[in-house]
Each structure stands twice: as structure tokens, then as C-alpha cells.
Structure 1
Amino acid sequence: MNIQPEITYRSVEKTQALDELVNSKIAKLEKFCDHISSCRVAIEKAHDHPSSGSPYRVRLDITVPPSHELAVDRSPDNGNQYEPIDAVIRHAFDAMERQLKELNERQQGDVKEHPQQAMVAVVHKLFPEQDYGFIKTLDTGREIYFHRNSVTHGDFDRIEIGTGVQFSETMGQMGPQATTVRIVDTVNS
């Protein structure tokens, strides 16, 4: 990295464990993109007692030459209540890792089209507070139920209405059900 990362803590006690976690995650990002020119990490406690989600927020801002600015903001307001700060930090860095990998592939011209990665459905309805939703197939318009546990890589929190996905299905007690749902990241060059 060209300059030292900036790490700020707001309403969160800076501990050696947190500092080591953040620095190890930054080092891991540099393995995927060795020409990061700046990295800012903000870790804060936004709420003391939220009604849902985690009280913590983690924001990452990274600059990659020539003029790419990548940002991740993890402020889980749904899902696991009181998700620990180290988990929020890991999720934020995982999201940034995906962005850096995609940018690196685009910069190197390595983005390939694979028929098996084509989008075959979109998220049609989503009920994050109950951990489920419905996808609609592009070919026939069928509506298929899916649960948080069927989404690969723990990406349920990345899903929103309109997200493109691939899926495997089975016949459940109430009708068709997706056993595996994978987000199809579309790259807009």
C-alpha cells in the first residue's frame, strides 16, 4: 500500500485484538490487489440498544489507481441482534474483497462469461426479518421460495429485490423451494 491505512474508532474501545483483526484483513486485501493507494476504516457504535441488528457500523473506503474508489458500509440493521463487532468487521472486509477481486479482473481483462453463471432468476419478494423470500424465474415466471440458509456464502444480507441469482430447486411440502441460491454478480464495464 502506498500510504499507511487510516483506522478510526468512534464510541468503540480500541483494543489490540480489534487492531490486529483490522490489520490482518487489510493485509489480506493487499494480496488481491497490491496497488491500493489509500485505505480508510471507520469502526463505530451507532446505537447502544438497537431493536434489531447490530449496534456497530463498519465503513471501508479504498482507492485504487487510476481513479477507482470502492466503499463498503456494514451497518446490520436486520438479522442477528447484537452481532459482535468482530463479525461486522469480517463481513465488511469480505464484501470489500469481492469488490477488489472484481475490479482486479476487470483491470486485467480476465472477466469471462460462463453459461453456468448466467442469471436465471431474480429476487421478487424479500422478507429479511423472517429470513426468507421468493425468486421469480426469467424463463417461465415461476415463483420459488428460498430461505436464508439456502443462500451461498452467507450472502443473504446482500440480497435485495431485483438481485440476479442462480438456484437449485426441490419440491417442498408447500411447493417448489430453492435448496441453493447463488448471487450472480454482473460486471458493468
Structure 2
Amino acid sequence: MKLTPMITFRGMDRSEALESEIHARITRLETFYRSIMACRVLVELAQRHHEAGNHYHVRIDLTVPGEEIVVAHEASLHATAQDIDVEKVRKADEPDPERKHARVAIREAFDIARRRLQDYVRRQRGTVKAPVRQPRGHVAQLFPVDGYGYIEAEDGHEVYFQRSSVLKNAFERLAVGSDVSFVEEPGERGPQASTVKLLHPRRTRRHPRGASVEPAAR
């Protein structure tokens, strides 16, 4: 592996097993595309006050020529359930049974990163056009303490997002009514925004109940 990735664990102890998993998956990405310039990976354990169990978030930042590929992902319950039988076989080698959920989140996040990297390579080769416009919507619900919220898309459906998926550390500047663009992926709670970009941070949107909501200042 040519890259020296930056791997961070937040809210949990450092794990050599998970680091080895991450290194192996980065090597696979390099095998597909050798011009990755930098890679940063965050594995975060987020315990929500009103929900049982642990939730693992994985954020991957890949720097490639002319672009930054960002993936922020939380393991889906469906994928975790599929892995339960496999994990029983590995139990002797897995002292922490909760770590399997982190490994599922890592695997899914790198699968998304590979697809994004493939799209990037196709665009570089001119085989597909870059998307003209990402889906847009506004923040419909926001839970700052727990670090997540919901976006109401332009067609009316709701999309879950988490703090780590908001670009440029702009989560603290979000408010109910903030205009955003996002990239949608399947997730644990249905549609999930893997990246969220705050638009027009100073613009005021009319709340559904009629109250004017002003996004927080920069």
C-alpha cells in the first residue's frame, strides 16, 4: 500500500483488527485506481440517549486529482443481520461482539467509496457526464445533542442524516429550515444522506407552522 492513511477512532478504543480491515480495503481501492492522493478514515461509536444499542458511523475522505470523494455511512440493520451467522463462526477470534457492527459499517462504507471512485474514473474518461445537480431539500427535524436530523427532500420524502455527513463541519450552523443539497444512500432507517452540504446559510425559510426560522450564524 503506497498510501499512509489517517485512521481515527472516536468514542471507542483503537482496534488493530479494524485497522487491518481498513488497510486491506484501502489497498483494494489503490489496486483499482493508483492515483489516490490521500485517505482519511473515521470510525465513530455514537450512543444515542433514546435508542438502545451501539451505532457505528464511518466517514471516508479520498483525495483524488481535482476532487474530494466523501462517504459518511452508518451500517444498515439488514446488512448486520446478514452477517450474524458469519460472525458466530468468527466469535473465537472476536473478543468484542459489538465490533462486528463496526466491521459491517466499514465494509459498507468502502463499498460506497469504491462505487464513487468508479464513477469518478468514468467521468475522467469521459464515458459519463458529471451530475448537473444534487438532490436538494431543507432540514425538517434536527437533534443537535444526539448529532442527527432529517431532511425533507423536494419531492416530500424524508432522508436521515448524521453530524459526520455534513460537509465543512457545518452541522452546528444547521437549523430547522436550512436549505441543503445531499447524496442519498440506503441506510439503517431507510433513505440516508451520506453527504450533506449547507446552502444559503443566511437565508430564512418559513417554518411549516408559520414561524420564521433563522439558521445559526457562521
Normalised by the size of structure 2, how large is the TM-score?
A: 0.47
What is the SS of the residue equivalent to 1:44?
Answer: strand
- Conserved? CA contact 1:74–1:88, under 8 Å: yes
Matching residue of 2:23: 23
CA distance in 2, matches of 1:97, 1:104: 10
- Conserved? CA contact 1:53–1:76, under 8 Å: no
Give the direction of change, closer, same or farther, for the CA distance of 1:78–1:18 in structure 2 (3 Å limit).
closer
User: Which aligned pairs between 1:1-189 and structure 2 lie closer than 5 A?
Assistant: 3-47=3-47, 51=51, 55-64=55-64, 66-76=65-75, 84-111=101-128, 156-157=186-187, 160=191
Q: What is the Cα deviation at residue 69 of structure 1? A: 0.4
Aligned sequence identity (%) = 33
Give the direction of change, closer, same or farther, for the CA distance of 1:95–1:76 in structure 2 (3 Å limit).
same
Give the direction of change, closer, same or farther, for the CA distance of 1:50–1:5 in structure 2 (3 Å limit).
farther
What is the SS of the residue equivalent to 1:95?
Answer: helix
Aligned length: 124
What is the SS of the residue equivalent to 1:25?
Answer: helix
One-letter amino acid matched to 1:72: V
CA distance in 2, matches of 1:78, 1:51: 14
One-letter amino acid matched to 1:93: F
CA distance in 2, matches of 1:44, 1:126: 27
Structure 2: which 5+ residue stretches go unaligned? 82-97, 130-154, 160-184, 193-218
CA displacement, residues 68-122 of structure 1 (integer Å, 9 cap, x when unaligned): 001000135876698711000101100000000010111122339xxxxxxxxxx
One-letter amino acid matched to 1:11: G
What is the SS of the residue equivalent to 1:36?
Answer: coil
Structure 1: which 5+ residue stretches go unaligned? 113-123, 129-154, 162-189
CA distance in 1, matches of 2:156, 2:3: 44
CA displacement, residues 111-161 of structure 1 (integer Å, 9 cap, x when unaligned): 39xxxxxxxxxxx88799xxxxxxxxxxxxxxxxxxxxxxxxxx7439749
Normalised by the size of structure 1, how large is the TM-score?
A: 0.53
One-letter amino acid matched to 1:71: V
Give the direction of change, closer, same or farther, for the CA distance of 1:18–1:51 in structure 2 (3 Å limit).
same
